[in-house]
Amino acid sequence: MDDELAIAVRGLRKAYGDNVAVAGVDLDVRRGEVFALLGPNGAGKTTTVEILEGYRRRDAGEVRVLGSDPAAPAADWRSRVGIVLQGTGEFDELTVGEVVRHFAGFYPDADDPAKVIERVGLGGKARARTHTLSGGQKRRLDVALGIVGRPELLFLDEPTTGFDPEARREFWELIRDLAAAGTTIVLTTHYLDEAEELADRVGVIAGGRLVEVATPAQLGNRQAALATVSWRTPEGVVESAQSATPTALVAELAGRFGGEVPGLTVTRPTLEDVYLTMIGHR
Amino acid sequence: MTTTTKPAAPLAATAARRVGPVALGLRQGRLEITQFLRSRESVVFTMGFPVIMILIFAAIFNDEIAPGVSYTQYFITGMIATGLMTVSFQNLGIWIPIERDRGVLKRYRGTPMPKWVYFAGKVIMVVAIGVVETVLLLAVSAAFFDLGLPATAGRWLTFAWVAVLGVTACTLCGIAISSLARTARSGSAVVTPLALVLQFISGVFFVFTELPTWMQQVAALFPLKWMCQGLRSVFLPESFGAQEAGGSFELGRVALVLGAWCVIGLLLCLTTFRWTTRRDG
């Protein structure tokens, strides 16, 4: 397969008994790309990602991750892949610094633990026992353990769950830094703004299938969708119209009102609208 | 072809060197010991329990069970064996399910750490805590209950091999039984009653030969009975051998049964060990 691809998947299938979790997924992620996988719970997101991470066996299909089959990877493969699971693996009795230093020792080319701790925003907590951390801080520690080996490819499974808005902004900054340094990032998330903010491309998974892959702006043909223009009539009634040429409509309204149009809004479907339509909730 | 640019290595701090296999094992051992010592329940339960039991039982019972042998001495050898089983079998059988449930094992599997390192860390912890615990018990017993330390090199040697074989068997069985527990909490529910029953039927709390024959036969299938018997040959007078169920301390059979349990335990570990919980598939 292609060297420019960090991940190449063809016809991936996985069933648990009668329950088909992944029903034929094809997926390419280019090196250096930030790819977001969106989908409701039970859509096959986690199963797909855990197959790519080498945690689960597939029933059928071709899978290449950094050139290796994750079910039988090359010797150095694990040290090139960073994994941030969904909130697991706590070391209650140890301090943040001890855990990060310990994990750094597993990698051939690890980053400086103190720097990594600083980078995820736990600088003041290096000497704190991990059980004293808040949910969001524990998540940062998860991220620290995922990046301390300086991976070429980083998997992040719902990384910002439990973050307050400020912590999410800081986390996004960190992801942009990693991406700018050339790290390929595969991210699953429930937050559409997060996908829109970070991802070069978004894949929507529903019912075990990848229903669409596109840039956040183009997902569901969002750019081509009609805009909705609404305004208030002099009688105080809100009117709205769908238009392919909203600028012209606004100009016409401006003429009609002789200047400012009261209550004017122009909207296109949000990523959330498109997404909910795709997964069949609208 | 794109070249993957990695962030430049920090110049001063870590000159990025892979840790060698021996160092990997030792680091893991140090981590396990640190975690153990900081977990108050583990320390109290594992280290404190046998000492407290000796203090209580020695204060209650003080009969001579044979010429020159007090119940206290008999009980102490049983508690040394129990201590070795607690630190290996119970400790691992309870803690590994907790680590599996918390996802610690899954997290290790996501790193380049070789699998054996995890077990090496556990073994180093068991050996270190086991030595400290045994020394503590010997010190308490020698100071307060007139337990004579082994007088000959031969007895020390017996002490060493019985302890090593016993701890090895119990460690392997502890790792093996950890896979039976479905959740963090059930580890303790599986292991604690089993260990307690073994203590009652293996001649720890009661003189073994006074137990019903069927109970002796059941106990003889498991390691603890043989660990106790081996340690009695170390700490009790040679003449006491005649009082044993087999008419002697049967050291050959002690070695055979403990060795067999090492093999059984190893096979169970290799075939049944799970890194993830069942719900993780």
Give chain B positions within 8 Å (CB) of A152.
4, 6
Say what the pTM is: 0.85
Q: Express each pLDDT in A219-230 by its tens digit.
A: 877 777 788 899
Give chain B positions within 8 Å (CB) of A92.
39
CB distance A175 to A146 below 8 Å: no
Give chain B positions within 8 Å (CB) of A53.
110
Strand-pairing partners, residue B64, are: B70
> Which residue on chain A is closest to B104 by alpha carbon?
A89
Q: Which residue of B35, B110, B111 is in closest CB contact with A94?
A: B35
The answer for B 43-102 residues in CB contact with A (under 8 A) is 102
Res A14: pLDDT: 93
> Where do the domains of chain A lie, and which CATH numbers do they carry?
5-216 (3.40.50.300), 221-278 (no CATH)
When pLDDT is averaged across residues B82-87 and rounded to a whole number, the result is 94
Would residue B1 count as lying in a domain?
no
Would residue B50 count as lying in a domain?
yes
pLDDT band at B280 (very low <50, low <70, confident <90, very high): low
Q: How far apart are CA B176 and CA B262, in angstroms?
A: 11
When pLDDT is averaged across residues A59-71 and rounded to a whole number, the result is 94
Measured in angstroms, the CA of B151 and the nearest CA of chain A are apart by 41
When pLDDT is averaged across residues A112-131 and rounded to a whole number, the result is 93
Contact yes or no for A88 and B38 at CB 8 A: no
Q: Express each pLDDT in A5-60 by its tens digit.
A: 999 999 999 999 888 999 999 999 999 999 999 988 888 888 999 999 999 999 99
Q: Which residue of B7, B103, B113 is in closest CB contact with A89?
A: B103
When pLDDT is averaged across residues B119-145 and rounded to a whole number, the result is 93
pLDDT band at B19 (very low <50, low <70, confident <90, very high): confident
Would residue B10 count as lying in a domain?
no
Interface of A with B (CB under 8 A): 3-4, 16, 31-32, 53, 55-56, 76, 78-79, 81, 83, 85, 87-94, 98, 102-112, 114-115, 145, 149-150, 152, 181-182
pLDDT band at A2 (very low <50, low <70, confident <90, very high): low
Do β-strands A153-157 and A81-84 pair in parallel, antiparallel, or remain unpaired?
A: parallel
When pLDDT is averaged across residues B113-128 and rounded to a whole number, the result is 94
Number of domains in chain B: 1
Would residue B61 count as lying in a domain?
yes
- Among positive and negative, which fits the CA dihedral B269, B272, B278, B281? positive
Contact yes or no for B107 and A149 at CB 8 A: no
Least confident of A129-133, A235-239, B121-125: A235-239
Domain holding B215, by residue range, is: 21-272
Is the pLDDT assigned to residue A89 strictly greater than 70?
no
> Which residue on chain A is closest to B13 by alpha carbon?
A112
Contact yes or no for B111 and A32 at CB 8 A: no
Do β-strands A19-30 and A201-206 pair in parallel, antiparallel, or remain unpaired?
A: unpaired
Least confident of A82-91, B1-10, B62-71, B218-227: B1-10
Res B40: pLDDT: 85
Res B247: pLDDT: 87
pLDDT band at B3 (very low <50, low <70, confident <90, very high): very low
- Among positive and negative, which fits the CA dihedral B268, B272, B274, B278? negative
Res B147: pLDDT: 84
Q: Which of A183, A270, A265, A268 is nearest to A224 (CA)?
A: A268
Res B4: pLDDT: 47
CB-based contact (8 Å) between B40 and chain A?
Answer: no
User: How is residue A63 annotated by DSSP?
Assistant: E
Contact yes or no for A93 and B106 at CB 8 A: no
CB-based contact (8 Å) between B20 and chain A?
Answer: no
Q: Express each pLDDT in B176-220 by its tens digit.
A: 999 888 888 888 888 999 999 999 999 998 899 999 999 999 999
Question: What is the separation of C-alpha A222 from the centre of its chain, rounded to a whole number of angstroms?
Answer: 19
Give chain B positions within 8 Å (CB) of A110.
14, 16
> Which residue on chain B is closest to A129 by alpha carbon?
B38
Would residue B12 count as lying in a domain?
no
Contact yes or no for B2 and A78 at CB 8 A: no
Measured in angstroms, the CA of B222 and the nearest CA of chain A are apart by 34
Is the pLDDT assigned to residue B56 strictly greater than 50?
yes
A–B CB contacts, 8 A cutoff, strictly below = 103
CB-based contact (8 Å) between B42 and chain A?
Answer: no
pLDDT band at B17 (very low <50, low <70, confident <90, very high): low
Q: Express each pLDDT in B134-182 by its tens digit.
A: 999 999 988 888 888 998 999 999 999 999 999 999 999 999 999 888 8
Res A173: pLDDT: 92
Contact yes or no for A182 and B4 at CB 8 A: yes
The DSSP secondary structure of A91-159, one letter per residue, reads -TTSBHHHHHHHHHTTSTTPPPHHHHHHHTT-GGGTTSBGGGS-HHHHHHHHHHHHHTT--SEEEEEST
Give chain B positions within 8 Å (CB) of A55.
106, 109-110, 276, 280
Q: Mean pLDDT over all residues of chain A?
A: 89
User: How is residue A223 annotated by DSSP?
Assistant: G
Res B13: pLDDT: 42
User: How is residue A68 annotated by DSSP?
Assistant: B
Q: How far apart are CA A7 and CA B21, in angstroms?
A: 31
Cβ atoms < 10 Å from Cβ of A60: 12
- b/e map of B175-207 (b: 16 or more CB within 10 Å)? bbbbbebeebeebbebbeebbeebbebbbbbbb
CB-based contact (8 Å) between B19 and chain A?
Answer: yes
Least confident of B36-40, B61-65, B161-165: B61-65
Least confident of A166-170, B59-63, B276-280: B276-280
Q: How far apart are CA A36 and CA A186, in angstroms?
A: 6
Q: How far apart are CA B159 and CA B131, in angstroms?
A: 12
